[in-house]
Structure 1
Amino acid sequence: MIPILVAHGTRKAEGVAMVGDLAERVGHTLGRHVRTAFVDVLGPSPAEVLGSVTGTAVVVPAFLAHGYHVRVDIPSFVTASGHPDVIVTDALGPSPQMVRVLTDRLVECGWRVGDSVVMAAAGTSDLGAQRDLRIAAAMLSAAIGDRVELAFAATGEPKVADAVAGLRARGARRVVVASYLLAEGLFQERLRASGADAVTAPLGLHPGVVRLVASRFRRARLPIAA
């Protein structure tokens, strides 16, 4: 099994480093080298990585929803590679494991029961990804026992700062933003500038994310029960 972790790609050095660090930690868990590829901004592309290997390849999309990159771009890269034996797993979210990571990050940043919470995603125009984000927000609401507002750092409404201001206008004493982002970068900076009392760290290198990615690779090779 040849594990390949596929991320979006970014010009921010911190984001590129996070993907490399995540792949290294997952590789340590699996006991094998995990290659990385990117669907946009920088290379190598999934097609380039797949074209350089032989044997069964398992691709794990490092995305938090099943948007355009997961549904269209990655399968297109697989086809373009001509590789005859590729398994593409589910994206990382929405999933109970990612919600546990979110709750851990909330506790780490000083969230307390009774605080108002905004779950902040990058944003997307893809309807399937929007549905996944709403599911993740609902799962986080259930986990903390209180309503979680969904807001966006880029595409989509409401913007994070507007959601924070809206909660304060409705009487919220403390507002905490739960970052539903994998890495540091421009969007995480926008969360910190939203006016919230606290903002969680990105999800990327939390041990729960490492375990989830490793599990995606392992389970891709398990036979399906009849």
Structure 2
Amino acid sequence: MGTYVPLSLRRKIVIALDAEQLLPANLIAEHEPVADETTESTRNRYSTFKTVAWVKANIIRATEDHVFLVTALTNGGAIDKSTMAVMWDSLFSEQDAHIDRKQAAEAALGRLSQALSAVGVSCTTEVLLGSPAEKILEYVHLHRGELLVVQYPVRGPVARSLTYSWADWCVQSAECPTVVVKQSDLPDNVAVALDPPLPTTSADMTSAEPVDSE
């Protein structure tokens, strides 16, 4: 076991997660549920766990770092809880008819934080409201982040060619070194930070194992 480092002296790592991958799709934009909504939501959630697991395995020094898990929402709104009950019933104990996006994001970040804490990583979570690029950069500055890790948004070729994503702006403007994590760059067998592997018949999804503690 290494020497304990006070929180004030730890390296501060900000992990900025893409809201569209952190939350079920029907919590991002108001629309009618589609047939494969649950599968798509599960895959998105799995990709976020996979990102955090990769950062844990390759960047975080558990006894020397403090991690800030953040995401940014551009709007609020509410969605009927029944449309996401299959995948998210374990996140909510209350019986409210509607769950807002901020509450859902806080719950999701909370589960990731618990998983990191279980393997000895000090962690803080926060849901930011507003422009993701602006709010995340402000957050990094406010908390004197020493490393920013960005989960790159999943975007189509047209969107990539016409506009910058919030992640691109963070890379260009962050006051500290930035690491961009793209799902296509992660190995299929990267350990999952929490929850069972994505239920599927695909071999690349069934081989994941929990993160080992240090």
* TM-score, normalised by the number of residues in structure 2: 0.47
Q: Which has the larger Rg?
A: 1
Which of 1 and 2 has higher RCO (CA within 8 Å, sep 6+)?
A: 2
Report the TM-score when normalising by structure 1: 0.45
